Amino acid sequence: MATTSDLRGRRAPARSSSRPSSLRRHQIRTAYTFLLVPLLFFLVVRFIPTLTALRLSLFDWNILKEQQPFVGVENYRALLGDEKFGQALKNTALYTLIGVPAQLALGLGIALLLGRIRALQGLYRALYFAPYVTPIVAAAWVWQWVFSPQFGPVNTFLMWLHLPPQAFLTSPGQALPTTAALVVWQNLGFQVVLFLAGLAAIPRVYYEAAEIDGASPTQAFWKITWPLLNPTLVFSVVTGTIAYLQLFTQVVNLNFTDQGGPLGSTMTVALYIYQLAFGRYQMGYASAITVVLFVIILLITLLQLRFLTRRYDV
């Protein structure tokens, strides 16, 4: 914030002694003018609602009722004994633990292979991107059909291989991994593009130098690609985790009812919040869950940023 740094990179700093400060004042005024509307937006649409949710969580808030009594931490205490919430939390953790590593490995693998080919690279790229542009609702319908126990092509294929047909989405044990597979399948296109971009940002010279030094492709991968790809990897893991912790649309659309799969086996925290807030209008209790979800996301994100981020000076 020192005045000297304000003049950084400027050609003609001071023709008269009064000019820098008036220029600086002009800069500050311009900056705040440009930021006025956006700051108002983030305040009104993001920050104030966050505080409102915090406040609602302390009330027995039901939009259909006349009275919204203050209950203090009662909603949070009730959460501790809520088995459905426990199951939703466990499922959400499972989704994240399956989905994030799977889409990272597949996305990076495909991006590496795409980097190896010349001809038709653009076509392959577009084809891998197709699931990502498929509307989630449509993809969920197709998935239901593809994994349908009676007439689904996957079971047809299994029978063709003389393997027993599976219940997939209709079985409490298989519904969650099948749902996770849909999310991974859909996110793959974005992951591929992300890693292609990350790989393209690594200077070719490093690989040429490594080859001259006689490094194998495996060595080159672990010594050059992996460390220099760190920002992309962190980005993928952090944003991926945040997204999986809020999983909703696929889960809702994979079930004809929005009850969260057979015996609640695919239920997520987000879906439970939706049921409570907009099915039963228990907005105070639902808000308490959103606060817990917020704290979980905050902690995990901070931990990931702390432990995953590395700086390499090359």
Partner 1 sequence: MTAAAPPRRRTDTRTVLAYLVLTLGVVLTLFPFAWMLLTSLKSFQELFNLSFLPADPTLDNYRQVLTETKFVQWFGNSLLVAGVTTVSVLFFDSLVGYTLAKFDFPGKNLVFILILSTLMIPTEMLVIPWFVGVSDLQLTRSVPGAYLAIMFPGLMSAFGVFLMRQFFESVPGDLLEAARIDGMHEFGIFWRIALPLVRPALASLAIFTFLGNWNAFLWPLIVIQQPQFRTLPVGTALFNGEAGTQWGLIMAASSLAVIPVLLVFAFFQRQIIEGIVLTGMKG
CA angle 106, 108, 114 (to 5 degrees): 100
Q: Is 143 in the site for partner 1 (CB under 8 A)?
A: yes
The single residue among 75, 92, 103, 232 that binds partner 1, judged by CB under 8 A, is: 232
Please name the residue ranges forming H helices in 57-214: 74-80, 83-116, 121-133, 136-146, 153-160, 175-200, 204-212
Q: Which stretch binds partner 1 (CB under 8 A): 72-80, 91-99, 167-175, 214-222?
A: 214-222
**Site residues (CB under 8 A) for partner 1, limited to 244-283:** 245-246, 248-249, 252-253, 256, 269-270, 273-274, 277-278, 283
Q: Is 21 in the site for partner 1 (CB under 8 A)?
A: no
Binding mask 22-51 for partner 1 (x = CB under 8 A): --x--xx-xxx-xx-xxx-xx--xxxxxx-
Q: Is 76 in the site for partner 1 (CB under 8 A)?
A: no
Q: Is 14 in the site for partner 1 (CB under 8 A)?
A: no
Q: Is 288 in the site for partner 1 (CB under 8 A)?
A: no
The single residue among 94, 166, 221, 304 that binds partner 1, judged by CB under 8 A, is: 221
CA gap 94, 203 in Å, rounded: 37
CA gap 226, 99 in Å, rounded: 20
Q: Is 209 in the site for partner 1 (CB under 8 A)?
A: no
Q: Is 227 in the site for partner 1 (CB under 8 A)?
A: no
Other beta carbons less than 10 A from residue 110's beta carbon:
19
- Contact present, 78 and 84 (Cβ < 8 Å): no
Q: Which stretch binds partner 1 (CB under 8 A): 85-93, 94-102, 164-172, 197-205?
A: 197-205
Q: b vs e for 232-267, b when ≥16 Cβ sit within 10 Å of the residue's Cβ?
A: bbbebbbebbeebbebebbbbbbbeebebbbebbbb
Structure token pair of residue 129:
């991107």
Q: Is 75 in the site for partner 1 (CB under 8 A)?
A: no
Q: Which stretch binds partner 1 (CB under 8 A): 78-86, 87-95, 161-169, 291-299?
A: 291-299
Burial of 160 per CB tally in 10 Å (0-12, 13-18, 19+): exposed
Q: Is 210 in the site for partner 1 (CB under 8 A)?
A: no
